[in-house]
Amino acid sequence: MKVAVQHNFLRPEIVKFLLLLHTLNHVNIFYTLINYSKVMQIQRIQTVYIFLAIVAMAIFMVVPYGEVVALGQTPVEAEQLYTMAEYGILIPVATVIILLLVDMFLFRNMPLQRTVLVISFMITLAVIATVCFTLFKEARAEGMDAHFSVWDILLPAAALFELLGIRGIMKDIKLLNSYNRLR
């Protein structure tokens, strides 16, 4: 009974390496041998950060962001404030979610991806300021006491994820620039 022996001489990595050996001069061959396993690998961790920012903003859109309590009334009446009811908060939050969704698929154009992410970060900071203004300034003007919700931690978390995404994009841009210098 004959057993067929399968040789792996034609694996794609070996073919690429042999082509490199054939076409490059000796200095480049040595450099390629050393860095063969490190051939331009871009870390896409920023996609995970952008996705987590999308999730945080989407959850923030449907949960209460605070409550106001009417002062001076014996039966305490607390009213939950929802993002869906406040268009001044809903529109920027929806804009950030849409920008982040678009940004996830801009990985081929990193400078544009960074720009869109910076814009969404700025809008997220504006949403944080708007929530604080709505809770405290308007509630106090109407004679009410305002309290943050537990869910308000989602806004700084989304901003943090956006910052981490910007940092990841900057690392990839630096990595690509260093590879371009080596060519």
- Taking only the tens place, the pLDDT of each residue in 125-175 is 999 999 988 888 877 777 778 888 888 899 999 999 999 999 999 998 888
Domain ranges of the chain: 1-39, 45-182
Taking only the tens place, the pLDDT of each residue in 10-20 is 566 665 655 55
Q: Does residue 56 have a pLDDT over 50?
A: yes
Whole-model pTM?
0.71
User: Facing residues of 82 across strands?
Assistant: 64
> Is the distance from CB of 137 to CB of 117 less than 8 angstroms?
no
Model confidence pLDDT, tens digit, residues 84-109: 888 889 999 999 999 999 999 888 88
- CATH number of the domain located at residue range(s) 45-182 in this protein: 1.20.140.150
Whether residue 38 has pLDDT greater than 50: no
As a whole number, the mean pLDDT across the chain is: 80
Burial class (CB in 10 A: 0-12, 13-18, 19+), 137: exposed
Burial-class residue 103 by CB neighbours within 10 Å (0-12, 13-18, 19+).
Answer: buried
